[in-house]
Amino acid sequence: MNAPWGDLFLFAEDEQRLVAMLARLCNDAKARAAFLVDQNGRLLAASGDSAGLDTTSLASLVAGSIAATEGLARLIGERAFSGLFHEGERSHLYVTVLSEGLILVVSFDRSSSAGLVRFRVRRASDEIGQAFAEIADRVAGAQAELAQITDEDIENLLSI
């Protein structure tokens, strides 16, 4: 696949497809929200209730956490850990690597359980991983809108 080193283009129909899968997962798992994050810490798609949540920071920290955990796994002779639970008093996170470069995060509370979330994630992961692989593998070709960017546009943009 082009990811993780190629540029990634996410079109409106791609996002709708991913969001629909995440919405189904949220519903099936009785989860509060689900997020897809790339290994570079960028949020690709989200579904559910993320109001008041800083999803940009969440994506960056989750990617960092996965990277650090992979380092830990290698220390004990594992290639990676398949999933991570972060258990809080009221809110919990289940984080799993679906495929190279793709991380799924599910946020849930006492309305659900770790077992149910894990079961539903396992069921949904192939479908989501496959959809992402198709998006990442697609050769986007020349992007007319981006190619039209002029040096002047860039200068104006950076009036910081």
Partner 1 sequence: MSFINYAAREINCKLVYYGPGLGGKTTNLQQIYARIDPKAKGKLISLATKAERTLFFDFLPLDLGTVRGFKTRFHLYTVPGQVFYDASRKLILKGADGVVFVADSQIERMEANLESLENLEENLADQGQSLDAMPHVMQYNKRDLPNVVSMPELQVALNRRNAPWSEACAPKGIGVFETLKAAAKLVLIDLKRKTGG
Binding part of the chain for partner 1, among 13-21, 84-92, 104-112, 118-126 by CB under 8 A, reads 13-21
Among 24, 28, 30, 60, indicate the residue that binds partner 1 (CB under 8 A). 60
Whose tokens are 């798609």? That residue is 45
The pair of structure tokens assigned to 31 is: 């989860």
Whose tokens are 């689900």? That residue is 34
Among 21, 25, 33, 41, indicate the residue that binds partner 1 (CB under 8 A). 41
Cα angle value 122/126/130 (rounded, 5°)? 155
Among 67, 85, 114, 127, indicate the residue that binds partner 1 (CB under 8 A). 67
Cα angle value 22/109/36 (rounded, 5°)? 25
Binding region for partner 1 (CB under 8 A):
3-12, 14-16, 38-42, 44, 54, 56-57, 60-61, 64, 67-68, 71, 140-149, 151, 153-160
